[in-house]
Structure 1
Amino acid sequence: MSSEIAIRVEGLCKEYRVYEKPSDRLKQTFAPLIAKLRRRETKLYYREFRALRDISFTVRRGQTVGLIGRNGSGKSTLLQLICQTLTPTSGIVEVNGRVAALLELGAGFNPEFTGKENVYLYASVMGLSQTDIDSRYDNIVAFADIGEFIGQPVKTYSSGMLLRLAFAVIAHVDADILIVDEALAVGDAFFVQKCMRFLRRFMETGTVLFVSHDSSVVTNLCNHAIWLEKGNVIEQGDPKQVAEHYLESQYAENTPFETPVPSEQQAEESQPEEDGGESIRQTDSQGEASDYTAAEDFYDMRREWINNSKWRNDIELFAFDPDAPSFGEKGAEVTSVVLLSEEDKMLHWVVGGEAVHLQINCKAHHSLKSPIVGFVIKDRLGQTLFGDNTFLGTEPISMSADDNFCAHFEFRMPILPAGQYSVCVALADGTQQEHRQHHWIHDALIVTSHASSVAHGLVGIPMRRVALESLNIPAS
């Protein structure tokens, strides 16, 4: 196998025998002998289940590949075949390099052994010598950070502690290929952030293959994605494109046959309680905004200086694209999306920190009982930065066929790091939890940020006050 190829999978299939009852296993054991004695075909007491069907792909050195798909699609089975903890029914799996895998929590651990004993057991299985483990043991324990429990049997550990110990070991075995199943979902926020920092460092030189149900994680971390469905590869390639098609499939599969209609009581309960200090926008059935008490607005104290410097956040807006990739039942559709100034003038250019008004215009083709319109802004990797919808804070209104309506979102544009962004808009009917998706447009507007003052993070927000002062009290 070429040294540039870390993993090669070709024509891979995995089948399981499924028995209706335990006694059928015994019957199947003797079935060939009985068939031979009676000179007839062997009777089968099982049915075959194909977990994977003719899977083929390659992973190059240094690639980070994400597997996405619903439960039961074959993701975990594929990882186990690559790790050689399962034997394929047919096909080829070739792996070039040392593999460290984090699959099922507790896999590779002896529950009766202490944490320390399991560190030595697990690391030796991954190819480390006794001397190597001795030299790295203190670092492994420090990374796991489970304190005195390192001396206790792992059968007393919580799932979070098992994750800490297992990840600590695989982080110190000098692996070439890291394979991670959905295990990080059980960790606490602090440890998961530590794991993500390690993953990002590892990705600079190593190869990563991992499973996630979160498509935004795949678009953020990966440079290749594979979508599995019922044991088949549906699509593989650019993570953003694969994730969008997977999302479209999810909505198509999960759309309810009957659209639930909120009762008057539910509609009332969905409204936020009024609080004199909050700013709440209420909209009547004609789309007119009612009066509300607004909290005092403010400008970033550095705004004038920044906007007269090279760090001014100039954001270019491109026109609404009605032919952008989209999906939905089309019982209603989004007809246009525009960004307006405070004076409701159409914007083609905006500066980060300015107040803006996003207007989404829609048309109903069939009657709608409770339309919901929303938007999200994503970066070039498909990560959602922020967004909102009309479900909370507006009165439910019904629409008849051929009715036109629009949604309004007024907010202060965040300060965006330099790069490209897209505005995704959606129109549904129902509730937040259960609805029909009528029109979802992935890249309705394209936004380009040409310069920025953002020092850290995905977005910046205006600061009311930034100060540096000495607390030393002068001697009297």
Structure 2
Amino acid sequence: MSSDEIAIRVQNLSKHYQIYDAPRDRLKQFIMPRLRQWAGKGHRQYFREFHALENVSFEIKRGETVGIIGRNGSGKSTLLQIICGTLTPTHGSIETKGRIAALLELGSGFNPEFTGRENVYMNASVLGLTQKEIDDRFDDIVAFADIGDFIEQPTKTYSSGMVVRLAFAVIAHVDADILVIDEALSVGDVFFVQKCMRFLREFMDHGTVLFVSHDTGAVLNLCEKAVWLHEGHVAALGNPKTVTERYLEKLYEEQQGPKADKKATGPMQAGADTDLRDAADKESDFPDTKIPTARKPLRDMRLDFINQTNYRNDIELFEFSPEAQSFGIGGVEITDVQLLDPMGNRLSWIVGGEDVQLVIRCRSRQVVQRPIVGFTVKDRLGQPIFVDNTYLTYADQSIPVAENDVFQATFAFTMPLIPTGDYTISVAIADGTQQAHVQHQWLHDALAFKVHASSVCMGLIGLPMERIELKKL
């Protein structure tokens, strides 16, 4: 691989720390070796050496997105700090090409006594922007952070989420070639995280991203390559699916011992081989359409029991956000998005597994011959959980709308069982066909909901089970 294709090259990198059992040992280490040398005696150490990183080597190409995973203390943050230049390696070398913008420890790079405005200017200048460039971009940075009048207040008065908002807004506007992000997006509300994920996905088209996370799902969703650090060494490097599987296997081994020699077979093994990144890669310009089925969805036979326990899938709904970020030519406006019960009552709380209706109301500003209304439910990383639209249902009998018509699309379905976390619903209205259409409005994060409790421990959603049986043969 030519050097021009490399964004980051790490070669035989090591970082060692001296650990002292008592403060006096630090003084002894400074004085005694000189005295012992003067007296002709052998050398003696008064410290223990801790190897945070040991002989780490890898290369990252330009435009690649690489995830770094590993347990606490494995050396992830140390590695990032060396790459960003805030730490010096003990041995080895590192080469980077291009401007690096980093979001490491919460609030790092900010002076808590400075106002948000002052910190923006200080941080952006450290990242290489001139005074004029910061002046030109300041309004965009403030708009991205969306912290209002707090921009004029000292950052020591900020919440952790506001600090992340401002820090990410700065690195999003410095024209970086390499972005380094260390778990920072675990803080913040779902709307801001979605905004950050949209920026990251656009940045990935041309820039290099180094992403540290304990969330293997995030690494599978975002990254083309993964590095697993274990006790300061590179335990695995390569395809995210393979690396994360080995990482999780190691975690289970440490908790419950090594696996049996007999290899897993059948559906369990086949399910483990599914590449979760496909769902994120297949998002198109308009939500995909599922083939409708005439059969009513199954009701989970455990639901009545689950709903009497703390595993009940409690889902809190938030208000429709008409001012959410959107795009499109504007021939139709989405005026309201609601979740209703089967009787048409507006919901503020849902229980997973129950029947609901998603209603998307629109107002046309021009004639639309073949309207297509759709939605996408996404997790906090922007990964589509499930999507649908009206195209197939009305492919043979389009319903044109005239100028100033008010119309709505209703999707009646059983709310899936969803893991705990934050989610958003993006909605869209287009004119045309699934393959060729004009996008009138795509409204990001029009509706948000928070899952407080769930019986789903793994996977994207839980499927209703008609029958579960366990018996001895």
TM-score range, shorter chain: 0.5 to 0.7
Counterpart AA for 2:93: I
Q: Is the 8 A contact 1:219 1:382 kept in 2?
A: no
Query: Cα deviations across residues 318-376 of structure 1 (Å, max 9, x unaligned)?
Result: xxxxxxxxx94479x97644xxxxxxxxxxxxxxxxxxxxxx8x9xxxxxxxxxxx978
CA distance in structure 1 between the aligned counterparts of 2:135 and 2:45, rounded to whole angstroms: 52
Query: Cα deviations across residues 143-185 of structure 1 (Å, max 9, x unaligned)?
Result: 1111111111111111111101110000000000000001111
CA distance in structure 2 between the aligned counterparts of 1:6 and 1:107, rounded to whole angstroms: 24
Counterpart AA for 2:386: V
Q: Displacement of 1:216 after TM fit?
A: 1.3
Matches within 5 A, 1:38-53: 38-53=39-54
| Paired position in structure 1 for 2:386 | 459
| Paired position in structure 2 for 1:438 | none
Q: Closer, same or farther in 2 for the Cα pair 1:150/1:31, shift >3 Å?
A: same
Q: Closer, same or farther in 2 for the Cα pair 1:390/1:38, shift >3 Å?
A: farther
The normalised TM-score by structure 1 is 0.58
Q: Displacement of 1:28 after TM fit?
A: 1.3
Counterpart AA for 1:117: E
Q: Closer, same or farther in 2 for the Cα pair 1:239/1:376, shift >3 Å?
A: closer
Q: Is the 8 A contact 2:12 2:57 kept in 1?
A: yes
Q: Closer, same or farther in 2 for the Cα pair 1:334/1:31, shift >3 Å?
A: closer
| Paired position in structure 2 for 1:187 | 188
Q: Is the 8 A contact 1:54 1:232 kept in 2?
A: yes
CA distance in structure 1 between the aligned counterparts of 2:264 and 2:233, rounded to whole angstroms: 34
Gaps of 5+ in 1: 258-326, 338-359, 363-373, 396-452
Count of residue pairs brought into register by the alignment: 307
CA distance in structure 2 between the aligned counterparts of 1:99 and 1:378, rounded to whole angstroms: 34
CA distance in structure 2 between the aligned counterparts of 1:83 and 1:390, rounded to whole angstroms: 53
Q: Closer, same or farther in 2 for the Cα pair 1:335/1:39, shift >3 Å?
A: closer
Q: Displacement of 1:12 after TM fit?
A: 0.3
CA distance in structure 1 between the aligned counterparts of 2:246 and 2:232, rounded to whole angstroms: 17
Gaps of 5+ in 2: 281-299, 307-372, 377-383, 408-473
CA distance in structure 1 between the aligned counterparts of 2:141 and 2:43, rounded to whole angstroms: 54
Counterpart AA for 1:105: L
CA distance in structure 2 between the aligned counterparts of 1:66 and 1:167, rounded to whole angstroms: 18
Question: Does 2:130 match 1:129?
Answer: yes
Matched position secondary structure for 1:49? strand
Matches within 5 A, 1:431-470: 456=376, 457-460=384-387
Matches within 5 A, 1:349-388: 378-381=274-277
CA distance in structure 2 between the aligned counterparts of 1:45 and 1:253, rounded to whole angstroms: 32
Q: Closer, same or farther in 2 for the Cα pair 1:329/1:137, shift >3 Å?
A: same
Matches within 5 A, 1:3-152: 3-152=4-153
CA distance in structure 2 between the aligned counterparts of 1:180 and 1:335, rounded to whole angstroms: 38
Matched position secondary structure for 2:101? strand
CA distance in structure 2 between the aligned counterparts of 1:234 and 1:209, rounded to whole angstroms: 17
What is the Cα-based RMSD across aligned positions, in Å?
Answer: 3.5
Question: Does 2:202 match 1:201?
Answer: yes
Q: Displacement of 1:138 after TM fit?
A: 0.6
Q: Is the 8 A contact 2:70 2:230 kept in 1?
A: yes
Q: Closer, same or farther in 2 for the Cα pair 1:392/1:248, shift >3 Å?
A: farther
Greater radius of gyration (CA) = 1
Matches within 5 A, 1:207-286: 207-255=208-256
Counterpart AA for 1:181: D
Counterpart AA for 1:381: R
Q: Is the 8 A contact 2:63 2:206 kept in 1?
A: yes
CA distance in structure 2 between the aligned counterparts of 1:390 and 1:45, rounded to whole angstroms: 65
CA distance in structure 1 between the aligned counterparts of 2:43 and 2:216, rounded to whole angstroms: 46
CA distance in structure 1 between the aligned counterparts of 2:264 and 2:54, rounded to whole angstroms: 39
Q: Closer, same or farther in 2 for the Cα pair 1:377/1:45, shift >3 Å?
A: closer
CA distance in structure 1 between the aligned counterparts of 2:302 and 2:261, rounded to whole angstroms: 20
The normalised TM-score by structure 2 is 0.59
Matched position secondary structure for 1:243? helix
Matched position secondary structure for 1:244? helix
Q: Displacement of 1:65 after TM fit?
A: 0.4
User: Share of identical aligned residues, percent?
Assistant: 55
Counterpart AA for 1:95: T
Matched position secondary structure for 2:252? helix
CA distance in structure 1 between the aligned counterparts of 2:144 and 2:216, rounded to whole angstroms: 28
Matched position secondary structure for 1:135? helix
Matched position secondary structure for 1:459? strand
